[in-house]
Amino acid sequence: MTDQALVDLAFSMLERSYVPYSRFPVGAALLCAGGQVFTGCNVENAAYGSTICAERTALVKAVSEGCREFSALAVAGNSTDYCWPCGACRQMLYEFAPELTVLVARGDGAFVKLPLKELLPHGFGPKSLG
């Protein structure tokens, strides 16, 4: 799976987003160590705080299907700026994959690649509880 293919999958999920409130679709694609890919989109709710982001949708789909090891995540939005993962998503991803590579795309298709540890330095994870 190339970086571009994972980003393309994230973009393909924009049409699945349920975003009647923000009108801001986000798509994600999460690559597992075994090669499977789990996709996700944001799903909003009339009780706004119950909204789930695209990245966490992909993550809980993967974990609930038995996958817990991940190598890369792509996230995409139609925005001018890169569609940076929110803090809650960074934290949820860090739980399972502190070494994750993150591909962050913007509306014109450009994307940047960086380690999750750069997005969440000194993260609190399972080892922190030791």
Which of the residues 15, 55, 69, 99 is marked catalytic? 55
Shortest separation between residue 5's beta carbon and ligand THU, angstroms: 21
Question: Could you say which residues in the range 108-127 bind ligand THU, by CB under 6 A?
Answer: none
Q: How far apart are CA 41 and CA 57, in angstroms?
A: 6
Q: For 16, what's the count of Cα atoms within 13 Å in the CB-facing half-sphere?
A: 17
Q: How far apart are CA 32 and CA 116, in angstroms?
A: 15
* 6 near ligand THU, judged by CB under 6 A: no
Secondary element (H or E) of residue 64 = helix 54-64
* 63 near ligand THU, judged by CB under 6 A: no
Q: How far apart are CA 40 and CA 13, in angstroms?
A: 7
Shortest separation between residue 83's beta carbon and ligand THU, angstroms: 7
Which one among 10, 38, 39, 55 touches ligand THU, defined by CB under 6 A? 55
* 91 near ligand THU, judged by CB under 6 A: no
Instruction: Note if 55 is an active site residue.
Output: yes
Which one among 85, 92, 102, 116 touches ligand THU, defined by CB under 6 A? 85
Burial label for 46, CB within 10 Å (0-12, 13-18, 19+), is exposed
Contact residues: ligand THU, CB under 6 A: 19, 22, 24, 26, 42, 44, 51, 53-55, 85-86, 89
